[in-house]
Amino acid sequence: MSLTVEHISFAYEGHKVLEDVSFQVSPGTFCALLGRNGSGKSTLLHLMAGLLRPAMGHIKLAGRDLRGSSRSSIAQRMALVLQEHARIFPFTVLDVVVMGRTPFMRLNQRPGPADYELALRALEELDAGHLAKRNFNRISGGERQIALLARGLLQSRENLLLDEPTNHLDFNNQHILLGRIKALCEKRGTRVVAAMHDPNLALAWADQVVMLSGGKVLAHGPAAETMTAEMVGRLYEADVRKIEFNGGGFFMPRPPGDRS
């Protein structure tokens, strides 16, 4: 039941954003989309979620082209979790999470006790059940991101599309959140495709990477094999070195004049 992106191209008002993008993501895989601002990462997520239609190419789930599916049916199998920015109405965290049931409801239908029970289970699965009755606007940025992840999980535990999930989070909360995302992949078989800025976070947590440059795939494959200093340097147009150590490594730009 692979998720397959085949030769996708897309343009906004004649401006080409994506060109001939192809890759495949298996169940239980954490795939990071890497690239500079404007490389097409967010647009690609919106295409995969069915919110945009490609000019060319196909997006297939388990061999079925999503082009002929309604947005509602896609939303039942593919949850897009956007960056959390503005404050919302003073809902409780549980009220925010239960909104993930919307694609499964009829027009004007309200969530019932069974829906709230599922929402609470989604929070508990992310070790966040204690947040259920808190005001969503009064919890930390990291806690809000976990609540939004729970909402996405309630919508679809099969496929999660995440747009910069660690944006605005501090060092510790970045790794807490990514650790919980990775656990969903390993324990529940959830497929995660996440647009990310930081190559070091992708190297630490992702199984697979797709590098986008100028709307095209520069490279894709297993993170540990694909993310070389040369490829990361080409992706970000920087002189990069990779510091390796037992069990891991990280990238850093070389200071001007450093020839080591």
Digit-coded pLDDT (tens) for 156-206: 999 999 999 998 889 999 999 999 999 999 999 999 999 999 999 999 999
Question: For the residues of 98-166, what is the DSSP string, one character each?
Answer: HGGGGGGS-TTPPP-HHHHHHHHHHHHHTT-GGGTTSBGGGS-HHHHHHHHHHHHHHH-SSEEEEESTT
Average confidence (pLDDT) over 3-28 = 96
Q: Quick one: pLDDT band at residue 243, thresholds 50, 70, 90?
A: very high
Digit-coded pLDDT (tens) for 110-158: 999 999 999 999 999 999 999 999 999 999 988 999 999 999 999 999 9
Average confidence (pLDDT) over 228-244 = 95
Q: Quick one: pLDDT band at residue 259, thresholds 50, 70, 90?
A: low
Q: Quick one: pLDDT band at residue 89, thresholds 50, 70, 90?
A: confident
